[in-house]
Amino acid sequence: MRALNLKLIRNLWKLGGQVLAIAVVIASGVAVLVMSLSALQALQDTAAAYYERQRFADVFTNVKRAPRRLVERISAIPGVRSVEVRIKQVATLSIEGFEEPVIGQLVSIPEQGEPRLNRLVLRSGRLVALGHPDEVVLSEPFAEAHGLQPGDQLKALMNGNQRTLTVVGIALSPEFIYAIGPGALIPDDLRFGVMWMGDEALAAAYDLDGAFNDLSLGLLHGTNPELVIEHIDRLLERYGSSGAIARKDQISNWFLMNEIEQLKTMSTILPTIFLAVAAFLSNMVLSRLIATDRSEIGLMKAFGYSNWQVAWHYTKQVMAMTSVGILLGWLLGAWLGRVNTEIYADLFRFPLLIFRPDAGVFALGAIVSLIAALPGSLGSVRRAAALPPAEAMRPPAPPMFRKTGLSRSRVAHWLDQPTRIILRQIFRSPLRALLTSFGIALSVAVMVMALQWIDSIEKIVQVYFYDAQRQNMMVGLVETQSDTTLEAFRRMPGVLAVEAMRFVSANLSAGNRSHRGSIEGISSSPELQRVYDASGAVLEVPADGLILSTKLADKLGVGIGESVWVEVLEDQRPVRKLPVVALFETYMGMPAYMNIDAFNRMMGQRPSLEAVNLLVDKSQLSRLYQRLKSIPKVSSVVLNDTMGETLMIYISFFAAFAGALGFGVVYNSTRMPSRNGDVNLPR
């Protein structure tokens, strides 16, 4: 081996701690990037593979009741590859040992053979059998939440009849990765569960023989779902269709994609900042390290090594140091990426896991690190090489120090000599001191940035669920009910206050901008479900017009006093032009509110409601639950904080890496002799 390479290797070995500290900085940047991007990619790949394998449908819709013979006409729509018609109903369940009412989403599956679309992944037991109308397959999260297994029984209030159902299997479905009850905001496996039942059994129970109320379509590759949706909506309008939706709007998929989208934001913004910080730090540290090699560079030149040879030697040294970091970052990143993916896959209950990180992710981390490390280091080499060898080999002349105003001031009497050294060092090279401080500041900033997520989420939860909403229970009704229902709720045990609430899906548009979302109808001076501005103000609800979240108003490009076209997507599908009467700031979603009376008028209905907000006396909960169980078609919502927990895992990785960055900088700053050859300050 060439002597120069031997020198390189032995020098690296001797520098040990510093090489490692630089490697830690670089590894942190690379690992965060690889971890985030590989986990993101794995999640996307896994979700896609899961959808593909289980033939997750591309278009969904439901109707009140439509004859099965329509299947032929639906199949004939251009672009449709396969059609699956089903019956979907909601039942109130009683589960032994669980006091609260549970909402069961019943979905039909063929008694023989597999469904054409939205196939189940059987986790244990079997699917339902022909001639056994009381058999059900439970979704795994629901079954686990209640400890139910094949062979267990549960009671269900179906279409007014109390039935005893037998669990025969446990399954997962791509359609219910996020299983969210009607009117609920987040999954609650204790109070909402999906159950699959035989086609014929369900048709018989709900008087839907020869009919269906739910339709899924698989499309040919490359088909625009919007065109198919237009066809379908026209065809099913007279059967009480609420409007078909593409896969992207399907609720479970929407939540999943939303989660992946959030992860994507974190996976691009955070690692970019992180890698940039790591790049800056490694650049700074390496350029200083090499500046201390000034006399070595002079010696090499004295021997007749050319500038190019010297530069190449140090390029190799920097690349070797950087490579240690890159390699470490790759290994750590790939491992954590896998761990991260597993955590998410577990949360989403993917029955399969595809972790095949793209080589490009690794290459990107390596390239950015090298690009960051080399210029700074070679700049130092260039500066040393520009000196005549004789000068480079000499210890540098004592640097110019001067007395500052401080040394002449009275304070100076109190300063001991080491303190004077420190202060004069700082005043002599303020830029250098500034850069070191900036480096440490950056690593602290990264740490703060990572940790602030926890507080942000807590704040959002606080504002959204506690400050804004005064109710401690929301009961969703499966169908629109007359507002006399409200009275029934008011009389229930433990209920202190009730408030009707309406919601309907709608298209909102202004000019050529539009938004598909929903409108919520609330009472004019709500006590429970309030319109709460992020600033803390509670808005009055005017008798007419829309109250939009600022985000939605921005999306539509409208302000107070301007009008928005509202196209309701349910029932009579009224289209109205409504003025925007107020705006409010919210941290979550893009809600739109209006007065419930105006809402009723818009829908052309008598006073009605889709949900009831309740303030209940918690000591009476048990009795209240008993009552709720006997009322058909309700769902209750209780909030939990699982989302916060998964985010915590992700954030703690970042915090750890930010700590590593800080260590790298501080370690190298204290270990490195200063360029002037001064003694290092007391450690």
Partner 1 sequence: MSPSSPAEKSDITLEGRSLTKIYHTGTVDVHALRGVDIQLYEGELVVLLGPSGSGKSTLLNILGGLDTPSSGQVHFRELETTAGDESILTRYRRDHVGFVFQFYNLTPSLTARENVALVTEIAVDPMDPAEALSMVGLGERIDHFPAQLSGGEQQRIAIARAIAKRPDILLCDEPTGALDSHTGILVLEAIERVNKELGTTTAVITHNTVIGNMADRVLHFGDGQVVDSKRNTRRQPARELSW
Nearest distance from C-beta of residue 295 to partner 1, angstroms: 8
The β-bridge partners of 194 are: 105
Cβ proximity to partner 1: between 160 and 395 the closer is 395
Instruction: Name the one range near partner 1 by CB under 8 A: 3-11, 221-229, 237-245, 264-272.
Output: 3-11
Nearest distance from C-beta of residue 319 to partner 1, angstroms: 18
Task: State the binding string over 397-426 for partner 1 (x if CB under 8 A, else -).
Answer: xx-x--------------------------
Q: Find the binder of partner 1 among 100, 152, 391, 467 (CB under 8 A).
A: 391
Nearest distance from C-beta of residue 318 to partner 1, angstroms: 17
DSSP code string of 3-21: HHHHHHHHHHHHHHHHHHH
Nearest distance from C-beta of residue 329 to partner 1, angstroms: 27
Cβ proximity to partner 1: between 10 and 132 the closer is 10
Nearest distance from C-beta of residue 1 to partner 1, angstroms: 9
Cβ proximity to partner 1: between 10 and 126 the closer is 10
Cβ proximity to partner 1: between 6 and 575 the closer is 6
What are residue 528's phi and psi, to 5 degrees?
-100, -65
Give the whole-angstrom CA distance, residue 608 versus residue 184: 19
Give the whole-angstrom CA distance, residue 332 versus residue 329: 5
53 is a site residue for partner 1 (CB under 8 A): no
* Cβ–Cβ under 8 Å, residues 494 and 616: yes
Cβ proximity to partner 1: between 7 and 68 the closer is 7
Cβ proximity to partner 1: between 231 and 301 the closer is 301
Restricted to residues 481-540, the positions that interact with partner 1 (CB under 8 A) are none
The β-bridge partners of 517 are: 506
Nearest distance from C-beta of residue 310 to partner 1, angstroms: 10
431 is a site residue for partner 1 (CB under 8 A): no
Give the CA count within 13 Å in the CB-facing half-sphere of 128: 26
Give the whole-angstrom CA distance, residue 432 versus residue 428: 9
Give the whole-angstrom CA distance, residue 555 versus residue 536: 23
Nearest distance from C-beta of residue 6 to partner 1, angstroms: 6
Place of tokens 């900036």: 438
Give the whole-angstrom CA distance, residue 249 versus residue 52: 17
Nearest distance from C-beta of residue 36 to partner 1, angstroms: 39
Q: Find the binder of partner 1 among 181, 187, 389, 494 (CB under 8 A).
A: 389
DSSP code string of 99-167: EEEEEEEEEEE-SSS--SSS--EEEEE----TT-TTEEEEEHHHHHHHT--TT-EEEEEETTEEEEEEE
Give the whole-angstrom CA distance, residue 412 versus residue 404: 10
Q: At what angle do helices 359-386 and 294-303 cross, to 10 degrees?
A: 70
Nearest distance from C-beta of residue 299 to partner 1, angstroms: 5
Report the first-to-last Cα separation within the chain, whole angstroms: 38
Instruction: Name the one range near partner 1 by CB under 8 A: 6-14, 407-415, 598-606, 653-661.
Output: 6-14
Give the whole-angstrom CA distance, residue 488 versus residue 383: 85
Q: Which of 547, 537, 541, 480 is nearest to 508 (CA)?
A: 547
Instruction: Name the one range near partner 1 by CB under 8 A: 204-212, 264-272, 382-390, 505-513.
Output: 382-390
Nearest distance from C-beta of residue 302 to partner 1, angstroms: 5
Nearest distance from C-beta of residue 14 to partner 1, angstroms: 7
Cβ proximity to partner 1: between 300 and 592 the closer is 300
DSSP code string of 232-246: HHHHHGGGT----EE
Q: Which of 477, 488, 472, 444 is nearest to 620 (CA)?
A: 472
Token pair for 647: 């985010």
Q: Find the binder of partner 1 among 10, 238, 490, 618 (CB under 8 A).
A: 10
The single-letter code of the amino acid at 415 is: L
Q: Find the binder of partner 1 among 48, 390, 543, 681 (CB under 8 A).
A: 390
Largest Cα–Cα separation, the chain: 101
Cβ proximity to partner 1: between 391 and 544 the closer is 391
Nearest distance from C-beta of residue 321 to partner 1, angstroms: 16
Nearest distance from C-beta of residue 15 to partner 1, angstroms: 10
What counts of helices (H) and strands (E) characterise the chain?
18, 22
DSSP 396: P
Nearest distance from C-beta of residue 308 to partner 1, angstroms: 9
* Cβ–Cβ under 8 Å, residues 549 and 515: no
Task: State the binding string over 540-579 for partner 1 (x if CB under 8 A, else -).
Answer: ----------------------------------------
Instruction: Name the one range near partner 1 by CB under 8 A: 183-191, 386-394, 520-528, 559-567.
Output: 386-394
CA 667 to chain centroid: 35
Task: State the binding string over 272-311 for partner 1 (x if CB under 8 A, else -).
Answer: -----------------------xx--x-xxxxxxx-x--
Instruction: Name the one range near partner 1 by CB under 8 A: 4-12, 38-46, 194-202, 372-380.
Output: 4-12
673 is a site residue for partner 1 (CB under 8 A): no
Token pair for 137: 């397959």
16 is a site residue for partner 1 (CB under 8 A): no
Q: Find the binder of partner 1 among 388, 430, 557, 589 (CB under 8 A).
A: 388
Instruction: Name the one range near partner 1 by CB under 8 A: 118-126, 235-243, 257-265, 389-397.
Output: 389-397
* Cβ–Cβ under 8 Å, residues 434 and 426: no
Q: Find the binder of partner 1 among 122, 320, 354, 393 (CB under 8 A).
A: 393
* Cβ–Cβ under 8 Å, residues 111 and 199: yes
Q: Degrees (nearest 5) of the Cα angle 58, 60, 61? A: 160
Cβ proximity to partner 1: between 303 and 414 the closer is 303
Nearest distance from C-beta of residue 398 to partner 1, angstroms: 8
> How many positions of this chain bind partner 1 (CB under 8 A)?
27
Cβ proximity to partner 1: between 199 and 296 the closer is 296
11 is a site residue for partner 1 (CB under 8 A): yes
Cβ proximity to partner 1: between 10 and 490 the closer is 10
DSSP 609: E
**CA Rg value for the chain:** 33
The β-bridge partners of 104 are: 91, 193
Nearest distance from C-beta of residue 649 to partner 1, angstroms: 44
The β-bridge partners of 156 are: 93, 163
* Cβ–Cβ under 8 Å, residues 61 and 232: yes
359 is a site residue for partner 1 (CB under 8 A): no
Element (H, E) at 386: helix 359-386
Q: Degrees (nearest 5) of the Cα angle 118, 124, 127? A: 50
313 is a site residue for partner 1 (CB under 8 A): no
In the chain, % helix, strand, coil (3-state, to 5) comes to 50, 25, 25
Instruction: Name the one range near partner 1 by CB under 8 A: 1-9, 116-124, 515-523, 551-559.
Output: 1-9
Nearest distance from C-beta of residue 328 to partner 1, angstroms: 24
Binding positions for partner 1, rule: CB under 8 A: 2-4, 6-7, 10-11, 14, 295-296, 299, 301-307, 309, 388-391, 393, 397-398, 400
